[in-house]
Amino acid sequence: MKFGIHLPQFGRAGTPESVRRAAVQAEDVGYDDIWVSDHLAIPVDAPYPPTAYIQEPIVTLTWAAAATSRVGLGTSILVLPMRHPLVLAKMLASLDLMSEGRLIVGAAAGWLEAEFDALGVPFRERGARANETIRLLRACWTEDPVRQDGDKIAAKLNGMRTLPQPNRAIPIWVGGNSDAAIDRAVTLGDGWHGSRQTPEGLGPTLKRIRAARPEQDFAISLRVHYDALEDDADEIKRQIAAYRDLGVQHLMFQPRQRLADDWMRSAEELLRVATDV
């Protein structure tokens, strides 16, 4: 099993120096990858996320990439319909090239309707737009010129050149727990990146995914919210062992929102606990 850690990207901990320090620490102590979240606008009365202060994810990962050399770089998750596929393809290809092939694109359709309204993106089209964006990302990364047809965006990219292209197939792990998200993962993704799933409730989802995608290079990843400074270490170990036994290949830890020094102490202790399972 591999382990990732969310960077202190938001709230009081979300400073350029804390992101750099956390990225370097994650690489030094042995994490496989570092991760960021994606929200562009939060309504004032939203119960979640807990803060509207969130550094832009691709910029944040680029900053972290410049401070490291080995650790992987992941998004958990990019909300695909909120960005134009051409701009997104260019930014992600550039980041993967500059980081020498370290990027994992966690991606999904999104859930916060007010955020879509603020961007002028039809909320009810988010699933179709996410599907088209995944196809267009791969087209921009592999075709020169792009040769795609489609109803919304693809036809306008047909015949366009979108260099540079990455030197490898950037993996796309599709996020989400809904039926639509799981269908998107198994039909269009290179992996599934779930969230907030207990070991007790995860079995049917993994059975469904593996029935459609039994190959082991189709990644099974989960985002889990632990805090080594407050949660019971034995319970964390029990859950990690249960996830492993179910076939989860990768866990990404997100400590609770706190000051940067506490965040990093929790991150280091979480890896120690996890590798003791």
Encode pLDDT of 104-143 as tens digits: 999 999 999 999 999 999 999 999 999 999 999 999 999 9
| pLDDT tens figures, 204-239 | 999 999 999 999 999 999 999 999 999 999 999 999
Predicted pLDDT of residue 238 = 97
Outline where the chain has alpha helix (H).
16-29, 57-66, 85-98, 113-119, 126-142, 154-157, 179-188, 199-212, 233-246, 260-274
What is the pTM assigned to this prediction?
0.96
CA atoms of 42 and 51, how far apart (whole Å)? 8
Range of the domain at 217: 2-274
Under 8 Å between Cβ of 255 and 228: yes
Q: Which range (73-87, 144-158, 169-183, 221-235) has the least confidence? A: 144-158
Residue predicted with more confidence, 232 or 49: 232
Predicted pLDDT of residue 183 = 98
Structurally, the chain folds into a number of domains equal to 1
On the question of pLDDT at 47 being above 90, the answer is no
On the question of pLDDT at 87 being above 90, the answer is yes
On the question of pLDDT at 32 being above 90, the answer is yes
CATH code at 98?
Answer: 3.20.20.30
Predicted pLDDT of residue 163 = 97
Predicted pLDDT of residue 151 = 66
Average pLDDT over residues 140-155: 86
Alpha-carbon Rg for the chain in angstroms: 18
77 HSE (CA, 13 A, CB side): 25
CA atoms of 249 and 185, how far apart (whole Å)? 16
Other C-beta atoms lying within 10 Å of the C-beta of residue 38:
23
